[in-house]
Structure formats: structure tokens, C-alpha cells
A and B are shown apart, each in its own frame.
Chain A
């Protein structure tokens, strides 16, 4: 982001503000990914993963890809954690 891009839509956001937002979200996503790896208990990890999916959705939104945001929101924050939870429930029953 050099700040020289002329944005002519009526919705334009000041470029420095956008830069700050992008940096903040990138840092949040990096922290979220680390949190997912550092969480040891699988059920808790799935919950953290769901939150991480939400963060990724915000990242895509900030980087102006609303289509990807919608996909990430539904798949990363809902569908994937759901499938993992179901698999965990199945495994746990077998162990008991």
C-alpha cells in the first residue's frame, strides 16, 4: 500500500486508516493461528478454530474480498468446526 492509489468511489476510506486496519487484522490472524496450534484439548481447539475462522473472514473483508468473506464465514466458522465436533463426539463414545 503506497498511498498513491486514487480511490474514486463515494465509499472511499482514507488510505492510512485502511493500512492500520489491515495491519491490526493481520496481527490478529497471526495471533489466532498461534492460539489454535497452542490449544491442546481437541474440543477447546475446535472452538478456537471457529473463532479463527471468524477472524479470517474479517481479514478477507478488510482486504476487499466480500465473496471470500461469505465463504470463509460459513465454512471456516460453522461447517468445519461442526464436522470436527461430530467426529470428536464419535471418537469419545468409542473410548468410553
Chain B
């Protein structure tokens, strides 16, 4: 295909795309318009049914809990995949990264970065647990809390201590915690099955006060497990990648 023909093919296809795009735009509902009844209904009934004042969490972990199980296991499988692909094979040996660039030393971590990382580690831990534990009361949830919690571990690495990062998050422990988080979620759902109810039925006491810390039954519990799973998965993935970057693996034969 000559450049001229190619340009014509592009122009025709591009014009078609633009035409269809504009045609599609004309059929869109107005900005901010919400046609369906589902959202309005759930706004009316969610707090009464689940005793969770955070309706988004109620949808994530209760009405659409089964979808969230799937999402949870996407992350679980991704982390497992990273550890599998990057695992230490026979015939590979680890070599220090210093060998690759012997002419320049690794720059020392500046005091500013070190201090900031130290200052933020504690608050990140508290914020992470807060978010994971308050899914039922405030805009938060296990996923957000878990990632914030994982940030605390990344901050430890940023403070200049990869070895310390590995010491506070050994792979065996992280993998176990991740499995417990993912399995915990699945088991909360299964507990309803053992009681003869549909999977993921909210079979715990809902509490009496909407928005209280002990309200909403399994919503809070599932959020906690999701937080644990997500934090461990992120720490695992980042840890594996850090190791890849810092230690270069080489075939011996």
C-alpha cells in the first residue's frame, strides 16, 4: 500500500468514526441526567436494609457483593501471577545491581525524603486501617484502605531501607496475609450458604444504629478482609518489582 492510498484509507475511516461519534453524542442524555429508577430506590432503602450509612459500601459489599468477590480475586490472581513469573528459577543466580553500573555509586537518600517518609509512615498506617474499618459509616472501604496501608510499606522503602522493607514484609508472610484476606471474603459469603441462605447473604447482626462502627453486619467484615487482601497484594507486587530492579538475575549457563 502506497503512502497516498494509506492516507485515503485513514481519511475515510477517520471521517466515518467522527460522523458516528457525533451521531452518538446527539443521543446522549443530558449532563448529570439519571434515567434509571435503581439509584433512587437504593438511596431510599439501603440505610434501612443494611444499617450502613455509606450506601456505596452497601452496594459494593452487599447488593453487588458477588461482583466484588470477582474483583477481589482479579487482584489476588494478579499478585500471584507476578510472584510466579518473577520467582527464582533453577539455573538462575542473583547478582547485585552494583555490578551493572560499577562506575557510579547509588545516590544516598536525602534527609528530606527520609524525614518525610518517616513522618508519613505512621499516619498512613492509621489512615489505612481507618478507611478499611469504616466502610459502613463513611466514604471509604477496604480497597482504598488497603492501598493506603500498602503506601506505608512503600514509605519505609523510600526512607532508604530496602532491607527493612523486606524485613517488615517477608514474602511468605505477605502471601499468607493476602490469601487470608481473599479467603476470608469468600468464607464470609460461604457462611451464609452453610446457614441455608444464598451466597453472601448478610448473616451477621446489623446493629441498631445506622452508621455505628458495629453496624451493617458482613459489610464491615468484608471490607476489613478486602483491606487486608489489597494491602498484602500491593506490598507483594511492589516488593517483587523492587527486587527485580535491585537484583539483576542472570542465567548461569
A interface residue numbers (CB < 8 A to B)? 1-2, 66-67, 70-71, 74-75, 78-79, 82-83, 86-87, 89-90, 93, 96
Please classify the interface of chain A as helix (H, G, I), strand (E, B), loop, or mixed, using the class held by over half of its residues.
Answer: helix
In the assembled complex, 30 residue pairs joining A and B whose CB atoms fall closer than 8 Å, in A order, are: A1-B31, A1-B32, A2-B30, A66-B139, A67-B54, A67-B56, A67-B140, A70-B131, A70-B140, A70-B144, A71-B143, A74-B151, A75-B147, A78-B147, A78-B151, A79-B147, A79-B238, A82-B238, A83-B237, A83-B238, A83-B241, A86-B238, A86-B241, A86-B245, A90-B241, A90-B244, A93-B97, A93-B100, A93-B245, A96-B100
Whether the Cβ atoms of B154 and A86 lie closer than 8 Å is no
Q: How far is the CB of A79 from chain B (nearest CB, A)?
A: 6
Residues on the B chain within 8 Å of A89, using CB: 245
Residues on the B chain within 8 Å of A90, using CB: 241, 244-245
Residues on the B chain within 8 Å of A66, using CB: 139
Please classify the interface of chain B as helix (H, G, I), strand (E, B), loop, or mixed, using the class held by over half of its residues.
Answer: helix
Indicate whether B119 reaches chain A with its CB closer than 8 angstroms.
no
B interface residue numbers (CB < 8 A to A)? 30-32, 54, 56-57, 97, 100-101, 131, 139-141, 143-144, 147-148, 150-151, 154, 234, 237-238, 241-242, 244-245, 248
Residues on the B chain within 8 Å of A1, using CB: 31-32
10 closest residue pairs by CB, A with B: A66-B139, A70-B144, A74-B147, A86-B241, A89-B245, A67-B56, A67-B139, A90-B245, A93-B100, A86-B245
Whether the Cβ atoms of B242 and A86 lie closer than 8 Å is yes
In the bound complex, CA of A18 to CA of B56 (Å)? 22
Interface centre among A78, A82, A93 (most CB of B within 10 A): A82
Which listed residue, B139, B242, B248, touches A93 by the CB 8 Å rule? B248
In the bound complex, CA of A74 to CA of B127 (Å)? 12
